[in-house]
Chains A and B, each alone.
Chain A
């Protein structure tokens, strides 16, 4: 087999393994104030935004990279990364989809998101992020009619500075942990959603993320604000092309729910996990945090994590408003040499607050999976309750499954219940399925889907089907 054939062979393994040649504008390599000013300048940001970034950077310089997590990774040289890369054709922004670089459109097609068709057929407004800059936003008109703002972060900074200024950094402040602070300093783009008072968003809002240029750390910033009595469901899904070098992804997602509002945030994450020998793959170090600011508000996180070499994230809820509700549903699947350290934090501050955590972890091959979670009930959070269930499924004895829950109860009126189990797929179940004509792989797929059902049910229809398939695909080759 000559080299070309080999390369093609390699690409076959990963459905979304390709990259497009688009000339990139890049900030100079490295991380310093000039680079931050460069980013801010190229995005024509107002001064307060630059100050926000610089403040974060000041803080970042004093911080040490954390090292308590289970999956260890080789040291990242933060000076050896590009912090800004934009598709060149972005310089003169296209007015409509038709003006887009055909090459770009081609990439989306391969990803399975032909903008026009999908937008029209599925009734989903797509804010597709290619590298770090939003390219097109569809269905804007329909949303605008309702007063809903759904645009890229850079656009929001230009057009809705009041809202951004008021809420950006209120859930994840510039003084947060290492990666969150890094993001605050250098974030390039992301999505911004504002749902006005009393409005139920008529469609699922969705963003597809995609990392392209090699050696580019991608720093997304998402901010979702649900004003009083509003509702929004937001979908996020990701794929990334095949790379040998590890790529860092440190996004920040902030959710704010005011009185009686509800935000539902769903993620399907299928970034490149590295090859069978654990070479390459994305580092997914994301900070996701929701604030139930008003009374009777609700934030629900649903995630299906199948990709990335290392997943290290804890989508959290701060239940500040009285009677607020936080939910976390998670499926994490690791295969080959993938590592995941994921879970959630539920911080109960208000009275009568409730939270629910359902976590399903499946590890196969040589992978390692950790559920790490915190339930903290403050002394003022009277009559709060939490229910946690985390189950792990192990396939083979080369992988590991770990559960590290932290439980802090400072209120005698509150109840916390936690359960965790670890087991494997029983021979009986397999036998039963095979007897009825399924091959071992199908049988495992079926059983695992049953194991995950509680979480899959929480996903919006569009995602549920995709996610179910993904669960099966992720475990291919792990049986027998």
Chain B
């Protein structure tokens, strides 16, 4: 891998217009990545999913060079119908289209030359890889007191013109005071067997509201890693919803720093897996000041040969009195070959807090199936009804009605 990555890196540097300083920085990150390589199960955070092995098994050797000298055609068929929205379209790792037609242009600032600052304390080698290879980092600022009228949809798409086996992308959002943003990430892949590495950073100022919905629904053979870092000021609210069902392997990490009083974070997720899929969600909610709140609900339905993992951590600083933290993970195992792993963790240094977690896993309740069958449903129908009810619980947590209906339509859930 080392040789390939180095030659590809040189090639990228030659064909792109990076400043010398940028190249220096990127080299530093590349070396940092090479020191550790892809994470293995020896790292606590990757205990349930050995990424290094997964890449080796599913993709083999990675390559990193992509030819960006000509623009890709945007395939409009992937756009969501029946929902007016703003768009950012990524194709094979490059932004092809930015469209904020529904918004007031003075109120949104888009900067395509933003330097991402590495402020994550833990040594995440995938962030280093991302920093070394991202082509451009966009920063989107929503100005004071402005709420986007329509949601922003980020289309993550790939097509068969892709020449590398690895895509890195990065977005930075700043939500100024009293602003709000609804953001949908929609994954739609035409290419197979890629490792896709996504980093988002959100900076929420006072009273800002962020709603992020990540929807990975279309079946594809890619390996996806996505990291959200959310910094929250006083009174801000963040809501993250993850629908994890399409990719072969997927890991979503959500790191949330509640730095302002009365700020709150909500993370909800659904895993619906089958046929050799392996997905994971890892959350870290850091309660750093008084009176902050977090709530997490993750549910899995696991079919044949599938595996899901949930690692959730609530950290409460000794200053963070009156914290309210809650996490719940539930799983239904449908087959002998399905597997569920969880590590719901509490790390608490303050005494006046209310923190709890719960985790339950098992098969569908035979009594409930019996009840439904005795009322005329067949086995399959009863099973589906129970699973729908189980998952609907999470979908109902979506606070935006428009998007809630969109999600329900997408996964075919009806009330």
Contacts and interface: CB of A to CB of B under 8 A. Distances in A.
A418 B350 CA distance: 23
A111 B335 CA distance: 57
A404 B361 contact: no
A261 to B, nearest CB: 29
Nearest to B44: A68
B344 A418 contact: yes
Interface stretch (B158-166, B352-360, B403-411): B352-360
A416 B356 contact: no
B336 A411 contact: yes
26 contacts: A379-B337, A395-B351, A402-B346, A402-B347, A403-B345, A403-B346, A404-B343, A404-B346, A405-B344, A406-B341, A407-B340, A407-B341, A407-B344, A410-B339, A412-B334, A415-B363, A416-B359, A416-B362, A417-B360, A418-B358, A418-B359, A419-B356, A420-B358, A421-B356, A422-B346, A422-B348
Interface in B294-352: 318, 321, 331, 333-352
Interface in B357-414: 357-363
Interface size on B, as a range, is: 35 or more
A401 B357 CA distance: 14
Contacts of B333: 409, 411-412
Contacts of B360: 415-418
A420 B356 contact: yes
Contacts of A403: 344-346, 357
A279 interface: no
Contacts of A418: 342, 344, 357-360
Given A413-B363, A418-B358, 9 more contacts: A396-B351, A397-B352, A399-B349, A409-B339, A411-B333, A412-B335, A418-B360, A420-B358, A423-B354
Interface in A33-67: none
A81 B26 CA distance: 50
A100 B341 CA distance: 56
A415 B365 CA distance: 10
A408 interface: yes
A243 B353 CA distance: 37
A412 B338 contact: yes
A394 interface: yes
Nearest to A70: B347
Main SS at interface, chain B: strand
A414 B338 CA distance: 12
A407 B336 contact: no
Nearest to B315: A402
Given A404-B345, A409-B341, A419 B336 contact: no
Contacts of A396: 351
B325 to A, nearest CB: 9
Contact of B348 (A394, A398, A419): A394
A73 B333 CA distance: 41
A377 B141 CA distance: 48
B348 A420 contact: no
Q: In the A-B complex, list the 7 residue pairs whose CB atoms are closest, starting with the nearest.
A: A412-B333, A415-B362, A394-B351, A418-B359, A407-B342, A403-B346, A421-B356
Contacts, number: 114
B361 A416 contact: yes
B314 to A, nearest CB: 9
Interface in A197-230: none
Contacts of B343: 404-407
B286 to A, nearest CB: 14
Contacts of A404: 343, 345-346
A392 interface: yes
A42 to B, nearest CB: 41
Given A407-B361, A415-B361, A400 B347 contact: yes
Most interface-central of B354, B358, B361 (chain A CB within 10 A): B361
Interface of B: 44, 318, 321, 331, 333-363
B318 A397 contact: yes
Most interface-central of B334, B343, B348 (chain A CB within 10 A): B348
A61 to B, nearest CB: 22
A415 B364 CA distance: 10
A135 B65 CA distance: 74
A409 B340 contact: yes
A68 B363 CA distance: 33
A424 interface: yes
A413 B361 CA distance: 10
Contacts of A419: 356-358
Interface residues of A, number: 34
Nearest to A414: B362
Nearest to A412: B333
A414 B331 CA distance: 11
A429 to B, nearest CB: 14
B331 A409 contact: yes
B341 A408 contact: yes
Contacts of B345: 402-405
A420 B344 contact: yes
Given A401-B346, A408-B341, A412-B335, A423 B353 contact: yes
A424 B358 contact: no
Contacts of A411: 333, 336
A447 B133 CA distance: 58
Contact of A407 (B346, B350, B359): B359
A411 B363 CA distance: 9
B310 to A, nearest CB: 9
Contacts of B346: 392, 401-404, 420, 422
A400 B349 contact: yes
Contacts of B339: 408-410
B175 to A, nearest CB: 31
Contacts of A379: 336-337
A149 to B, nearest CB: 42
B226 to A, nearest CB: 24
Contacts of B354: 422-423
Nearest to A369: B348
B335 A424 contact: no
B334 A424 contact: no
B410 to A, nearest CB: 27
A100 to B, nearest CB: 49
Nearest to A422: B355
A426 B335 CA distance: 45
A395 to B, nearest CB: 6
Contacts of B350: 394, 397
Most interface-central of B318, B351, B359 (chain A CB within 10 A): B351
Contacts of A412: 333-336, 338, 362-363
Contacts of A408: 339-341
A364 to B, nearest CB: 9
Contacts of A423: 353-355
Contacts of A413: 363
A372 to B, nearest CB: 9
Nearest to A383: B363
Contacts of B361: 407, 409, 415-416
Contacts of B351: 394-397, 399, 424
B76 to A, nearest CB: 42
B341 A421 contact: no
Contacts of B353: 394, 422-424
A409 B342 CA distance: 9
A395 B353 CA distance: 11
Nearest to B357: A420
Nearest to A425: B351
A392 B357 CA distance: 12
Given A402-B348, A410-B339, A422 B363 contact: no
